[in-house]
């Protein structure tokens, strides 16, 4: 039995060996998600999850690009403006820089459901990134997310994905489907980097 399991684990880890672009969801991956029906609209509400700074710094040191792709429906709902969102992201970049970490790009969708081609699981944010980073492709990229829309977006593009599932929180209603679609899973961004993207 042990002789069979070990090669399977090895193949699973090596499945990410050629990854050079790491796409990251924001809420639930970098920072604590707001309660259902609520939105993180300012830096004061933005709570980075444990280990995020170190995880991104490790991705940077490995030569990989760290790119955020995030749905921000709160803009369409009038809860905060694009200027508010950009100010929050500038604060995030400054915080990460103080920890020797950086995000190579941040793409966001400010639209409501059904209004665009960029709201995940639609591919628009990724297509924009592929235009801005010509060396990036579905084949050398991975999506790290905590929701079905993240994993479905990757699946539609033929991209590998890693689903983050926090055992301390109740499972998402569509969590089982997301787990079936995902290439792998981890409990945090740092766990993801340590297990698959070292």
Instruction: Enumerate the active-site residues.
Output: 25, 27
Q: Which two tokens stand for residue 10?
A: 């090895």
Q: 54 - beta bridge partners? A: none
User: Using CA atoms, how far apart are residues 135 and 80, in angstroms rounded to an integer?
Assistant: 34
User: Are the CB atoms for 121 and 149 separated by under 8 Å?
Assistant: yes
> Interior CA angle at 170 toward 24 and 176, to 5°?
65
Residues 24, 157, 132, 41: is their CA dihedral positive or negative? negative
Q: At what angle do helices 124-132 and 148-157 cross, to 10 degrees?
A: 60
3-state secondary structure of 94: helix
Rg of the chain over CA atoms, in angstroms? 16
């Amino acid at each position: 039995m042990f002789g069979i399991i070990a090669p399977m684990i090895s193949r699973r880890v090596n499945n990410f060996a050629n990854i050079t672009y790491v796409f990251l969801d924001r809420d639930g991956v970098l920072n604590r998600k707001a309660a259902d029906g609520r939105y993180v609209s300012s830096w004061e509400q933005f709570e980075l999850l444990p280990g995020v700074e170190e995880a991104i710094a490790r991705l940077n040191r490995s030569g990989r690009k760290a790119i955020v792709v995030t749905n921000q429906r709160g803009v369409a709902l009038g809860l905060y403006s694009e200027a508010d969102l950009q100010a929050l992201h500038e604060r995030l970049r400054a915080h990460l820089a103080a920890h020797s970490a950086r995000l190579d790009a941040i793409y966001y969708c400010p639209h409501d459901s059904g209004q665009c081609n960029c709201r995940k699981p639609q591919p628009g944010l990724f297509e924009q990134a592929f235009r801005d980073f010509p060396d990036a492709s579905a084949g050398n990229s991975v999506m790290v997310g905590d929701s079905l829309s993240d994993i479905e977006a990757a699946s539609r593009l033929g991209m590998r994905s890693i689903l983050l599932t926090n055992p301390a929180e109740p499972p998402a209603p569509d969590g089982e489907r997301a787990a079936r679609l995902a290439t792998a899973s981890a409990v945090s961004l740092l766990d993801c980097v340590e297990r698959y993207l070292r």
